[in-house]
Structure formats: C-alpha cells, structure tokens
Amino acid sequence: MAAAESLHRRTREGLAALGVRPRRRLGQSFLVDPRVVARIVAEANVAGRTVVEIGPGLGALSEALAEGAARLDLVEIETRLAERLREQFRGRPQVRVLAADALRVDYEALVGAGPRALVVANLPYSVGSQILLRLIEARAGFERLVVMLQREVAERLVARPGSKAYGTITLWTALYGRAELLFRVSPAAFVPRPKIESAVVSIALDVEPRVALADEQHFRTVVRAAFAQRRKMLRAALARLATPGEIEAAGIDPRRRGETLSIEEFARLSNELRRARH
C-alpha cells in the first residue's frame, strides 16, 4: 500500500515538476500500481535480454526493466519526458533514450544484429494498434511483445472466428504471432484514470508467416474485402475478387460470412484464387 502511494505521489510530482499535463492525444496515462508493474516485468522475463520499451513516460516500468535487461532502449515521443529519463539513467550506459515517435523508428537499426529483442510497453491508447502493427512488421528484430493495450483491442487480438471481436487486426497479428491475453488491468492503476479498462498481452513472433501463402498482399486484399462487409456472404463481399465457383474450389462455402473463416481458411482461399487467376 505504501509503495502504491509513493508511486502515485512520485508520478504526480514528476509531472508537475516537468510542467507536463497528461495529454489524451498521446495516450498519457501513467501506471501507479506497483503490483501491475511487477507483474508485467515478471511476465516479460527480461533477464540478460535486449529490451525496447515504447512510451516509458516517467519510467514506471523502465527502472525494473533496467535491473534485469542486458540493454534497454527507451522510445519516448515527449521530449521533456525523454530528457528526464536521460537524467534518471545517467551513468548506466546499458540504457539508451530515444526521443522519437515509435511509429517512425527504424527498429532494425535500433536493435542491430544479434539475438532478437523483447518489447515491453504500456502503449498509448491513441495509437496502440498502429504501434503494435508496426512492431509486428519489425518482427525480424523482435521475438516477443509484452504490451498493455486498451482491453477491447487486446480482446480483438485473441478473438475466435465468428465472434464480434474477430477482425482484420486479429488476422494481421495471427499471421506472424501467437497472442495470449495475460491479465486485465483496472483504470484505478493509472494517473490520470482512463475511462476504459486495459489488458496485457504477450505476442510471440515468427519471422515467416505462420500459414503458407502464395502472395501475402493478395491474402491481405481478400481479408480486407471480407471484413469490409462482414455481415455479407463471401460470394457478395468478394464479388470483385472471385466467383462463387472459385470460392467453392477452395473448399469454402460461398454462403459463409468472412468473419467465420479461420486464418488457415483465408490462406487457402487466397492461394486458390491466385492459382485460378494465374
């Protein structure tokens, strides 16, 4: 309890000292519950690893990560926070601070050659999904992501076919990753307190797609078309890409809705359409 009060107080004082008024646009909600911090760090298992933390803010996670990691790169968009972190980690050369937009970072250059790194982050809600997709793109440098997101987004990542939460982001994640929802986090764990709940997910990333694809761009085109009109049957939703006969040739009933197809079925459909048209 005392630890919780002190993290809470340090966060408020830290923000006031820097003159930073938390901005919703930057998803600035700072973790003040040390139990949540400890749980995220334990799940991430960073001992001896290279770790990238996105949006370190006032360093609630960073101190604990720096204790175990062999190297820690902090990527923070807000320059006042980045400067404060540089001050905080002065004299610890294994910690580097990059004042940058996580959507524009060259992760290959940041991580460099060598074993793939871990990402640990309490992502800003405002751009959480975009950053996540960018990290998946940079999977050559990352073996696993342990990230806190808005609960709805986290649920989309682990959704099953046929459920309301199942959608394009589920499939973009499943193409390279195995996502697992680790635990939920209440708004009370943050300052300022957000209106929404959060959840921590772990995503183990493969470099190659986890289903065999003849053409990844085509797979993405088929998935996008299927979800653009998710309540329609595939024969209508994919009318510009396939005839009902071609859908059937992939072993898929054209009267099904796209939202019921597994990633393996989308892959089979895309591969069959490519084969039929080339």
Q: Where on the chain is the footprint of ligand SAM (CB under 6 A)?
A: 26-31, 54-58, 60-61, 75-78, 81, 101-103, 122, 124, 127
Q: Which residues pair with 71 in a beta bridge?
A: 50
**Least spacing, CB of residue 100 vs ligand SAM, in Å:** 7
Closest CA to 194 of 53, 14, 26: 26
**Least spacing, CB of residue 179 vs ligand SAM, in Å:** 20
Q: Are 202 and 180 in contact (CB under 8 A)?
A: yes
Q: Are 222 and 273 in contact (CB under 8 A)?
A: yes
For every residue of 91-144, which 3-state class applies, written as one string? CCCCEEEEECCCCCCCHHHHHCCCCCEEEEEECCHHHHHHHHHHHHHCHHHEEE
**Least spacing, CB of residue 116 vs ligand SAM, in Å:** 21
Nearer to ligand SAM, 11 or 270 (CB): 11
d(CA 274, CA 278): 6
Describe the crossing of helices 2-18 and 79-88 by its angle, rounded to 10 degrees: 120
CB atoms closer than 10 angstroms to residue 177: 23
Nearer to ligand SAM, 73 or 78 (CB): 78
**Least spacing, CB of residue 91 vs ligand SAM, in Å:** 22
Give residue number: closest CB to ligand SAM.
55
**Least spacing, CB of residue 55 vs ligand SAM, in Å:** 2
**Least spacing, CB of residue 56 vs ligand SAM, in Å:** 5
d(CA 229, CA 167): 11
Nearer to ligand SAM, 28 or 271 (CB): 28
Nearer to ligand SAM, 103 or 228 (CB): 103
